Structure 1
Amino acid sequence: MSDIVTAGILVIGDEILSGRTKDKNIGFIAEYLTNIGIDLKEVRVVPDEEVEIIAALDALRHRYTYVFTTGGIGPTHDDITADSIAKAFGVGIDHHPEVVARFKERFQNPGELNEARLRMARIPDGAELIQSATILAPGFKIGNVIVMAGVPSIMQAMMDIVTPKLKSGVRMLSESVRANAREGDIGGPLRAIANAHPDTIIGSYPFQDEDKKPNTNLVVRSRDPEKLNAAMAAVKEMLAGLNLVR
């Protein structure tokens, strides 16, 4: 479908892979994209290594409409995301004059605007800045790649800035129902319903209910409200016909 817009996420950072830092960005971005009609298709996590960043970025940016990256645009030696992305696109990278001017206004004491902080002003040639009055060091967009900070609060602010400029598709609609049945008891009939309604996505999610018994939530998704309603009606009819002893 031409109106389906897709995305991938590339999380960059040794600290994520080591477990020292717990990622808080993937879930936020996934929900954000779903709400604006962009389908998140893949998430990759790579270390602070140029070859790995470039390989993952090239794979994702040629496969999906957009790629969102988080992490690696800070002031330290291992913040190499901007350089790696410049190499992936085959462009140069230099201190952006607009960012440098903002830094000079912010850091007026001698020695504050050091080499480390100036690293955050290095932007690949041709990239569009993602910044606001409350964001000192910007992210940027180059091609179909949106490069953002790893700090959740800053990343979320950058999402608010950049997403109004992105193409979005038809939103995925969803409806859920509590099965009051174990997942294994409804797997067969649920598969039959899924096969009969190919333009919907039906998921089952087991949980332990308030009586500490195994239970299941069923979620039906579709871009077409009529097809969603038809599949959900079939699910509810199936559940109503169950005669289970729990």
Structure 2
Amino acid sequence: MTDNAPDRVTCAVLIIGDEILSGRTQDTNLRDIARYLGVIGVDLAEARTVSDVLQDIVDALNALRERYDYVITTGGIGPTHDDITADAVAAAFGVELEEHPEIIEMMSKRWGTELNAARRRMARVPVGGALVKNPVQGPPGFTIGNVFTLAGVPSIMRGMLEDVGPRMRGGRPTVSRTVRVEGSGEGVIAAPLEAVAKAHPDMSLGSYPFFSPDGFGSNLVVRSRDPDALAGAVAELIVALKGAGIENVREIEVA
């Protein structure tokens, strides 16, 4: 990462699939994408989940790709009739779909004469698009414009991410530090936390309560792209908390 890296690069995630909205499948891709993007200095700014309805996907995709630097879609690129993500991406960009010869060649080697119409659906890529490598199994994803279209299967999606990251223009990574307050509720820590937050409007300060058999309290997480400024804000927060009569305060390491 260079010193002149842009301050903020943004990305949205569009999760596609009725199975997510129905609760039949629990999504874990959003968590994994958020963690991956944070490491390369890209902010996950918004996430949406839409059903397998073509126009709903097109509308959501167009809104997100206009607003953010990048969009990652997950799901809907399999062989069944309801896997319509490729159709929606092509419609959003106003282009046709075509069978990518590299995918057809790969499929032919794997399935031979069993390369049926359903499997060939997975070879369709919007005209002008490029492939996203799939190091796990099955056909690759694809990218067009600022959109990366990935599989919904978590292990495959994570593999594809490794090819997406190097194509993104990274920003300055966000770093975080955590102050742990034990034995005091959010009502007590709210005022000093708000005061520090107002003094550092370019930072993110969050309060995350915890409850356990050993006691209760909150973890206060401070995030910034400037490590030196972050250290100063954490020191101010500790002083402000102690100034409010809260003594059981300490910074902790979070893996």
The aligned residue for residue 194 of structure 2 is 191
CA distance in 1 between partners of 2:202 and 2:117 (Å)? 54
CA distance in 2 between partners of 1:87 and 1:238 (Å)? 54
State, as a whole percentage, how many aligned pairs show the same letter.
52
Cα distance, 1:40–1:132 mapped onto 2, change above 3 Å: closer
CA distance in 2 between partners of 1:188 and 1:170 (Å)? 30
Confirm or deny: 8 A CA contact 2:100 2:125 kept in the other structure. yes
Confirm or deny: 8 A CA contact 1:209 1:215 kept in the other structure. no
1:97 and 2:106 are equivalent in the alignment: no
- Secondary structure (helix, strand or coil) at the match of 1:135 reads coil
CA distance in 2 between partners of 1:74 and 1:86 (Å)? 16
- Secondary structure (helix, strand or coil) at the match of 2:87 reads helix
1:219 and 2:221 are equivalent in the alignment: yes
The aligned residue for residue 60 of structure 1 is 64
1:240 to 239, 242, 248: 242
Instruction: Give the superposition deviation at 1:179.
Output: 1.2
CA distance in 1 between partners of 2:87 and 2:35 (Å)? 29
Letter aligned with residue 202 of structure 2: D
1:114 and 2:132 are equivalent in the alignment: no
Letter aligned with residue 21 of structure 2: L
Q: What stretches of structure 2 of length at least 5 have no aligned partner?
A: 249-255
The aligned residue for residue 128 of structure 2 is 126
The aligned residue for residue 252 of structure 2 is none
- Secondary structure (helix, strand or coil) at the match of 1:123 reads strand
Letter aligned with residue 232 of structure 2: A
Confirm or deny: 8 A CA contact 1:12 1:70 kept in the other structure. yes
Instruction: Give the superposition deviation at 1:209.
Output: 3.5
How many residues in Structure 1 have an aligned counterpart in Structure 2?
A: 243
Confirm or deny: 8 A CA contact 1:16 1:22 kept in the other structure. yes
Letter aligned with residue 158 of structure 1: M
TM-score by length of 1: 0.94
2:32 to 22, 28, 33: 28
1:204 to 203, 207, 210: 207
Instruction: Give the superposition deviation at 1:96.
Output: 0.8
Confirm or deny: 8 A CA contact 2:6 2:170 kept in the other structure. no
Letter aligned with residue 198 of structure 1: P
Q: What stretches of structure 1 of length at least 5 have no aligned partner?
A: none
CA distance in 2 between partners of 1:130 and 1:75 (Å)? 18
**Which region of structure 1 is more displaced relative to structure 2, 76-85 or 157-166?**
157-166
CA-to-partner distance for each residue in 1:190-213, whole Å, 9 max, x for gaps? 1011111222211111111441x3
CA distance in 2 between partners of 1:245 and 1:130 (Å)? 52
Instruction: Give the superposition deviation at 1:132.
Output: 4.4
The aligned residue for residue 166 of structure 1 is 168
CA distance in 1 between partners of 2:139 and 2:247 (Å)? 60
Letter aligned with residue 127 of structure 2: D
**Which region of structure 1 is more displaced relative to structure 2, 225-234 or 128-137?**
128-137
TM-score by length of 2: 0.91
Confirm or deny: 8 A CA contact 2:135 2:159 kept in the other structure. no
CA distance in 2 between partners of 1:231 and 1:57 (Å)? 37
CA distance in 2 between partners of 1:62 and 1:174 (Å)? 29
CA distance in 1 between partners of 2:63 and 2:136 (Å)? 33
